[in-house]
Amino acid sequence: MTSARGRLTKDGIRIYEPGDFAGMAEAGRIAATILDDIIPQIFMGQTTTEIDRIITEMVTDHGAKSATIGYKGYQHASCISVNHVVCHGIPGEKKINDGDILNIDVTVIVDGWFGDTSRMYVAGKLPRKSERLIEVTHAALFKGIEAVKPGNTFGDIGHAIQSFVEGHRMSVVKDFCGHGLGQVFHAPPNVLHYGRAGTGPVLEEGMLFTIEPMVNLGRSETKVLADDWTAVTRDKSLSAQFEHSVGVTATGVEIFTLSPRNLFHPTYG
Ligand code: MF3
Ligand code: CO
Ligand code: CO
């Protein structure tokens, strides 16, 4: 057993120390750098297996460890979710097509700290409605992040995301959520991307968690395929997701997984 840091709130949420944020920032930086560096590999005809193979190498080259290889039997360094796949897409031999939208989700462990982040990528020419979906999903993540400060609640985060997304006549996935992380991958609380303002646990300085809204062009319902991982929209509508790992500071929020080269925006065209 490694010694757990800090204390737990009554909701079982770990409160980390200010000195712990540097470890999270380094893990987050490496995860985000990998998402920057994978961009040239997203093109028509490329397979998601090949993308994942390169990500696996990148993780090692950074001296990091993949958090997903071996996690509950998962065997890959990334989840790659194409078009109507909501999350947990398994890399495979299927080639990327013109106009496909992809989420790539990478989690690394660096010195015991977890960095978990995902973004959207596109291959070829992007239809306008896919572009809108991606724009709204990214903006929704930041609506959630803007609600992060001591004294606000987790319900404020969910409400900010849900009201923004539904205002654009899109739907928020309710079957998957963000999560506490830090020196573990998935810890309390469940960070819901929907909810009522003022409800849920109160945010405190030192909490570390992800916000990772999944947004669908159609209805919010999902199902998991027979491989026990791949989650898809029930109505086959397109789905997008962005994820950041964040920490609550004395005055607001620190985002650990910002793109070092500001390449978070998918390259359209
Ligand atoms: N990175 C995902 C998350 O955001 C979890 C992936 S677990 C895996 O929480 F096993 F599917 F990789
Ligand atoms: Co996550
Ligand atoms: Co993730």
Give the CA count within 13 Å in the CB-facing half-sphere of 123: 20
Dist. CA 89 → ligand 1 center (Å):
10
d(CA 238, CA 252): 33
Ligand with the closest atom to the CA of 77: 1
Instruction: State whether the beta carbon of 243 lies less than 6 angstroms from ligand 1.
Output: yes
Q: Please give the pLDDT value at position 129.
A: 97
Nearest CA to ligand 1 atom 2: 105
Give whole-number Cα distances, 193 to 38, 67, 127, 156, 215, in Å: 27, 23, 26, 10, 10
Q: Please give the pLDDT value at position 23.
A: 98
Ligand 1 pocket mutation, candidates 105, 119, 208, 229, criterion most atoms within 8 A of CB: 105
| C-alpha Rg value of the chain to the nearest Å | 17
For 220, counting Cβ atoms within 10 Å of its Cβ (0-12 exposed, 13-18 middle, 19+ buried), the class is buried
Instruction: State whether the beta carbon of 212 lies less than 6 angstroms from ligand 1.
Output: yes
Q: Name residues whose C-beta falls within 8 Å of residue 170's C-beta, 6 or more positions apart in sequence.
A: 133, 136, 215, 216, 217
pLDDT by residue, tens only, the chain of 269 residues: 456 777 999 999 999 999 999 999 999 999 999 999 999 999 999 999 999 999 999 999 999 999 999 999 999 999 999 999 999 999 999 999 999 999 999 999 999 999 999 999 999 999 999 999 999 999 999 999 999 999 999 999 999 999 999 999 999 999 999 999 999 999 999 999 999 999 999 999 999 999 999 999 999 999 999 999 999 999 999 999 999 999 999 999 999 999 999 998 876 64
In the chain, what are the domains?
Answer: 8-255 (3.90.230.10)
Q: Please give the pLDDT value at position 3.
A: 60
Q: Please give the pLDDT value at position 2.
A: 52
- The predicted model scores a pTM of 0.97
Q: Please give the pLDDT value at position 1.
A: 45
Phi, psi dihedrals of residue 129, rounded to the nearest 5°: -70, -30
What does 44-62 look like in DSSP terms, one character per residue? TT-BHHHHHHHHHHHHHHT
CB count within 10 Å of CB 24 equals 24
DSSP state of 137: H
**Residue (of 60, 41, 24) closest to 244 by Cα position:** 24
Q: Name residues whose C-beta falls within 8 Å of residue 183's C-beta, 6 or more positions apart in sequence.
A: 2, 4, 5, 112, 113, 114
